[in-house]
Amino acid sequence: MKRLSLFVACSVLVISTGNAGSRTKPLPTVNPAVDGIMQAFQTHTLVAIGDDHGLAQEQDFYAALVRDPRFARQVGNVVVEFGDAVDQPILDRYLDGQRVPYTELRKVWTDTIGSVPPPFLLGYANFFAQVRATNLTLPPGERMHVWLGDPPLVDWSKARTRADFAPVPGLRDLFPAELIEKEILAKGKKSLVIYGTFHWNTDPAVQALTGGQSSLAQLLEAKAPGSLFVVTAYIGYMEKGCDRAFEKGKEGWPVPSLATPVRGTSLDDPVSRQSCSTHAHGPFPPSMPDTQKAAAVEGYERMMTGVAGDALLYLGPSASLVSSPSLPDFYLDPDYRADVMQHMAIIGPPNIDASLPFVSPKGNAATPEPRHH
């Protein structure tokens, strides 16, 4: 789940973005987000949501989606990045309504190898809790199944040093692709897939920054062409003026809402992407030509602003977006903290600071904070 530093009522609304440079383009169709997702499932087997790791409103939307009665009836499956497949039996028992001690349940998000620190955020835990609560209202044969997509590369009961972890290049995309092929596609099922936005990249210029390895999107399209519908959230820009320009005219949009299509509509504005950025870009490989750097930046911004996807998830104005609080285990349970730090020493960068990943700028990771400071 590491994010590279390079790095939307049932009535339909059609509203302009308010960007002068894009007024001549057609307008997207805007629906309440849950309705929009369910409509996407009418034409696609897989609906992917690019997870902007830690965005509280996006995590709340996941819970709202699985709470909707249509989801269990028409879809019933979710594949997530924020849980390790080695703990699938634990999660299965929990979601089936069995009693699972919390110290055992939290292994689901603690044992992951794709995130440092682990994704122990309130919103992710609440998502699992919501699936369980909804399942308990359904007959056993109609309950939802959540598949954990982080590959089981480490035996945490035995791992003690960095030498006990041997990452396999590309496996964090290969593993969920094979899981989806086996458990979803081959069985004629449908699934929501929640993975970091970067996993849905299809731009060769961006792909070159990771050694050219195929993304999850590319692997799934190769297995089942046309099966994938990709949704990316609006996360705001680094420049406040860009936020104001993008959000103009969206005051009447439902929150959350889904706007589609994106490509070729008023949401697709190359001029804005040249002057507005979602992240600081770089560092680039020293040998990369400037033209390739510019192409990578353009590709990344297209991906992060939803233009490279099929729909834009609008969760509200940038100023209203907040980060999910951390679960309090890390600073209330010294034994758990020691376990987490051991994990970080094994899979994290060398000499990682033991406190910085868990302490917010205001000194309390237990409370939500503005996404953009």
Distance CA 280, CA 238 (A): 8
Q: Which residue, chain included where needed, has tokens 């039996």?
A: 89
- Outline where the chain has alpha helix (H): 33-40, 56-67, 69-74, 88-95, 102-105, 107-110, 122-135, 171-180, 204-207, 216-223, 240-247, 270-275, 290-304, 329-332, 334-347
Classify residue 141: in a domain, yes or no.
yes
* Structural domain contains residue 358: no
Using CA atoms, how far apart are residues 194 and 230, in angstroms rounded to an integer?
Answer: 10
Which structural domain, as residue segments, surrounds residue 220? Answer: 20-318
Q: Tens of pLDDT along 118-143?
A: 999 999 999 999 999 999 999 999 99
Closest to 26 measured CA to CA, from 18, 16, 40, 36? 16
Q: Domain total for the chain?
A: 1
Assign residue 136 the CATH number of its domain: 3.40.50
Question: pTM for this one?
Answer: 0.90
- Is residue 182 one of the residues assigned to a domain? yes
The span from the CA of 150 to the CA of 98, in Å, is 23
Residue 87: band (very low, low, confident or very high) from pLDDT cuts 50, 70, 90: very high
Residue 338 counted as domain residue = no
Q: 189 lies in a domain?
A: yes
**pLDDT (tens digit, 9 = 90+) per residue, 263-317?**
888 888 777 667 888 888 877 878 888 888 888 888 888 777 777 889 999 999 9
Structural domain contains residue 345: no
328 within domain boundaries = no
- Residue 281 located in a structural domain: yes
